Amino acid sequence: MVQAKKQLTEPETPAIFDLNNYLKQQQIIVEQALDQSIAIARPEKIYEAMRYSLLAGGKRLRPILCLATCDLMGGTQAMAMPTACALEMIHTMSLIHDDLPAMDNDDFRRGKPTNHKVYGDDIAILAGDGLLAYAFEYVATQTNNVAPENIIRVVAALGHTVGAAGLVGGQVLDLESEGKLDITAETLSFIHTHKTGALLEASVVCGAILANAESEDIARLSRYAQNIGLAFQIIDDILDITATDEQLGKTAGKDLQAQKATYPSLWGLEKSRLKAQELVDSAIAELSNYGIQAEPLRAIANYIVTRDR
């Protein structure tokens, strides 16, 4: 049976929205759901490797965006939770592969040794593959009270997002651009909208689809997500220069070391900060139709430019 959507009339958000408290609460809920999503089975080593990276902490921004958007569009957290977990599985697998010696060759992630440092390159590749496959299985088998056609739309959106039209394509251009400090702002934008922006956009769009949102709402929310996605990456580039290893839980200064073109290398730190703020303002402007119930999405947009890790 397909569950009726919640009434949109009752504001459930307090007048002064406490983002820190909201993020903390949502992180706890997401951590529990992720912990329950994968049980150890035989062969234990691969499940341990998958769980090692999936449960290593992190901001859980993608699941939280998915849950918040589903809620805003009148759905429930339960409807969106399997997709929220799948988004984190996909994000985690992309980081495991990104950290491999054949890619960015990183030793630390989320404050812990990277997956291949603990389990070896072979198991790390397979842990990424296992997480990616399981993400799709998890959405298809665990989503309840959502119309089957909307579950199929979510699976299709996720597939599009991770493939050559999304993360994979962005990563390829990112690798090809290493050592080329003269790449254009247009190429840099392509890399970031695909490598980082696409999954953030899918997090929001999938949350809306699961709540059976209208196409105009999905288009508006997509634009919100595209803006915060690019702002997120600009701030990431800035933090790579200004933050410490401890703050980031990974090696800082890697972009300079790998001679990667970044927004600060193109525009300088100050202009990059201004550009990120402009993007967040545009994202928030897309939410003007929604009133107080969109406070979580507004607050998350603001958090993206003020975060220090």
Q: Is 201 in the site for ligand FPP (CB under 6 A)?
A: no
Q: Is 196 in the site for ligand FPP (CB under 6 A)?
A: yes
Exactly one of 104, 174, 201, 237 binds Mg ion (CB under 5 A); which one? 104
**Residue 92 binds which of ligand FPP, Mg ion, none (CB < 5-8 A, kind-dependent):** none
Angle at 26 between CA 277 and CA 281, to 5 degrees: 15
Q: Is 304 in the site for ligand FPP (CB under 6 A)?
A: no
Token pair in block for residue 80: 């969106």
Task: Using CB atoms within 10 Å of the CB of residue 94, give its burial: 0 to 12 exposed, 13 to 18 middle, 19+ buried.
Answer: buried
Helix (H, G, I), strand (E, B) or coil at 13: coil
Q: Is 118 in the site for ligand FPP (CB under 6 A)?
A: no
**Residue 150 binds which of Mg ion, ligand FPP, none (CB < 5-8 A, kind-dependent):** none
Binding segment for Mg ion (CB under 5 A), chosen from 60-68, 100-108, 206-214, 267-275, is: 100-108
Whole-angstrom distance, CA of residue 3 vs CA of residue 6: 9
Whole-angstrom distance, CA of residue 86 vs CA of residue 215: 23
Nearer to ligand FPP, 34 or 86 (CB): 86
CA-to-CA separations, 289 to 64, 208, 282, 301, in angstroms, rounded: 21, 15, 14, 16
Nearer to Mg ion, 98 or 295 (CB): 98
Whole-angstrom distance, CA of residue 5 vs CA of residue 71: 9
Give 109's strand partners: 112
CB-CB neighbours of 277 under 10 Å: 16
Asked whether 206 and 158 are in contact (CB, 8 A), the reply is: yes
Minimum CB separation of residue 301 from Mg ion in Å reads: 24
Exactly one of 71, 88, 98, 174 binds Mg ion (CB under 5 A); which one? 98
Binding residues for Mg ion, total number by CB under 5 A: 2
Binding segment for ligand FPP (CB under 6 A), chosen from 98-106, 142-150, 204-212, 281-289, is: 98-106
Q: Under the rule (CB under 5 A), what is the footprint of Mg ion? A: 98, 104
Contact residues for ligand FPP (CB under 6 A)? Answer: 94-95, 97-98, 103-104, 106, 132, 162, 167-168, 171, 195-196, 250, 254
